[in-house]
Amino acid sequence: MALIDAQIRQAKPQDKDVWLTDEKGLRLLIKPNGSKYWRLKYRFLGKQKTLALGVYPTITLKEAREAAGDARRKLAGGVDPGQLKKREKQQRLLDSDNTFAVLAWEWYQQQRGTWTADHAARVWGRLKDDVLPALGENPIITIQPQDIIAVVRKIEQRGALDVASRVLQDIRRVCRYAVQTGRLTFNPAIDLTGVLKTRASSHRDSLPKEELPDFLRALAAYHQRGRLLTQLAIQLLVLTFVRSGELRGARWEEFDLDDRLWRIPGARMKMKTEHLVPLSLQSVAVIAQLQPITGQYELVFPSERNRREPMSDNTMRRAVFKLGYDGNTLGKSKAVPHGFRATASSILNETGFNPDAIERQLAHMERSGVRAAYTHHARYLDERREMMQWWGNYLDQLREGRSNVIPGKFGIRG
């Protein structure tokens, strides 16, 4: 006889297990402690089996019958509902182990050996700051395109379109790794390139020459509103126009202040070859200010949170934006740290310095294997020393409002 809900509610526990029978194999087990469990008896391949369907009253009589009916339909299709339930539970456990954070870390560890230390730090920094807070705990199999789009849109809202593009690429690569290792069957980020906003960009948001004086004066006072370490990092970046990652990853051991030379090892360079950066007197003065701040650490510009990690690119970017160079301030162009390389290159070329010396100072890829094989003297080091000191003097004159900027003669085109 079929059960009714009132009968189940009124059923009292006994000293031993009590079974109340419904219909078609559905039964209710009442334990001596009063707990009530739904069970379905069934046969599969000649064997008697029992399927757990939940706890009463969380699972009502109606819901238990629906679950039993679903199990019987599986049986009719040749599927053992008990084994299916076990496999689904195992898959859920597997999915909980295969979160986006776990897969991202696996992918990162696999790839980092092929990258420079600075590039590896940038990649993991983007994942840690912009992706893992939103997607990290999600089983990767549950991540949908709209979840990824939401992450990218949030980055775009703060104006970091380049970062948004790189983050989307990072997510796509993590998901590709998940497909390759059998944790995903489809890459949810594969067709999302078109969702990114685009903007016209000239030399990656380099600052026009005309705006340099005001920028330099504002930068000199940045410590009144932000960290002095950040100000000094940007000042040294402008003076040396190295890549942002090359500056942020600088180690104290790389600097020879007696020879006024910064030797960046090839492992930290985009082109994988050692880069020599002549230091102007102005650069040496900045480094002298840095020594009492971070001289006790390995890194010249350590992160505020972890002194063993470099300052993030976003730290300098946000500082430049805080000075008003975010593209939203009337009379001020948008500028990003990497853009100072283009600004310096443009001014030095206009002034008449040797283009080869400028390109060498920018550590751009050599145009031929012959050039790449030149000796130390062919690195235009003497010319670059003269050029970098001229650049330091020029920036001082701009900041101080002097207009009598006279180029040096060494290394100038005749």
Instruction: Record the tokens describing residue 204, joined without a space.
Output: 């990656």
What single string gives the DSSP state of each residue in 284-312?
HHHHHHHHHHHTTSSBSSB-SS-TTSBPP
Binned at pLDDT 50, 70 and 90, residue 98 comes out as: confident
127-161 pLDDT per residue, tens = 999 999 999 989 998 999 999 999 999 988 887 77
Q: How confident is the model at residue 90, as a pLDDT?
A: 67
- Measuring CA to CA, how many Å separate 195 from each of 46, 103, 198? 55, 24, 9
Is residue 99 within 8 A of residue 174, CB to CB? The reply is no
Residue 129 in contact with residue 314, Cβ under 8 Å?
A: yes
**Per-residue pLDDT averaged across 27-40, rounded?**
94
pLDDT at 91 over 90: no
pLDDT of res. 404 = 55
Reference 317, options 244, 262, 382; nearest CA is 244
pLDDT higher than threshold 80 for residue 237: yes
Residue 52's pLDDT is 92
Provide, rounded to the nearest whole percent, the portion of the chain with pLDDT above 70: 90
Helices vs. strands in the chain: H and E counts, helices first: 17, 7
> Rounded distance, CA 214 to CA 272, Å?
36
Residue 411: its pLDDT value, please?
40
Tokens 């003097």 identify what position?
Answer: 393
pLDDT of residue 96: 63
| pLDDT tens per residue across span 2-17 | 899 899 999 999 999 9
**pLDDT: is 345 or 284 the higher one?**
284
Tell me if 234 sits within 8 A of 244, measured CB to CB. Answer: no
CA distances from 112 to 38, 108, 120 (A): 52, 6, 6
Threshold 0.75, pTM exceeds: no
**Residue pLDDT, tens place only, 324-381:** 998 888 778 889 998 999 999 989 988 888 888 898 899 875 443 433 433 343 478 9
Q: In what order do the strands lie in the sheet with 255-256?
A: 255-256, 261-264, 275-278
> How confident is the model at residue 367, as a pLDDT?
40
Q: How confident is the model at residue 413 (pLDDT cuts 50, 70, 90)?
A: very low
- Res 200 pLDDT > 60: no
**What domains are defined for the chain?**
5-92 (3.30.160.390), 100-195 (1.10.150.130), 209-400 (1.10.443.10)
Report the pLDDT value the prediction gives residue 375, as an integer from 0 to 100: 37
Residue with tokens 């053992």: 80
Amino acid at the residue 285: A
Give tens-digit pLDDT for 288-313: 999 999 999 999 999 988 999 999 98
The partner residues of 310 in beta bridges, in order of sequence, read 302
Could you tell me what percent of the chain has a pLDDT over 90? 63
Average pLDDT score, the chain: 87
Which residues are part of the catalytic machinery?
Answer: 243, 270, 338, 341, 364, 374
CA distance linking residue 50 with residue 85, whole number of Å? 12
DSSP string, 99-120: BHHHHHHHHHHHHGGGS-HHHH
Count, residues in the chain: 414
Question: Per-residue confidence at 56, pLDDT binned at 50, 70, 90?
Answer: very high
Degrees to nearest 5, angle at CA 268 with 266 and 271 = 55
Q: What angle do CA 266, 268, 272 make, to 5 degrees?
A: 40
Q: Please state whether the peptide bond connecting residue 57 to the residue before it is cis, i.e. omega within 30 degrees of 0.
A: yes
**Cβ neighbours of residue 25 closer than 8 Å, sequence gap 6 or more:** 40, 41, 42, 68
**pLDDT (0 to 100) of residue 93:** 58
In the chain, helix, strand, coil percent, each to 5? 55, 10, 35
Asked whether residue 191 carries a pLDDT value surpassing 70, the answer given is yes
Residues sharing a CB contact under 8 Å with residue 129, sequence separation 6 or more, in sequence order? 312, 314
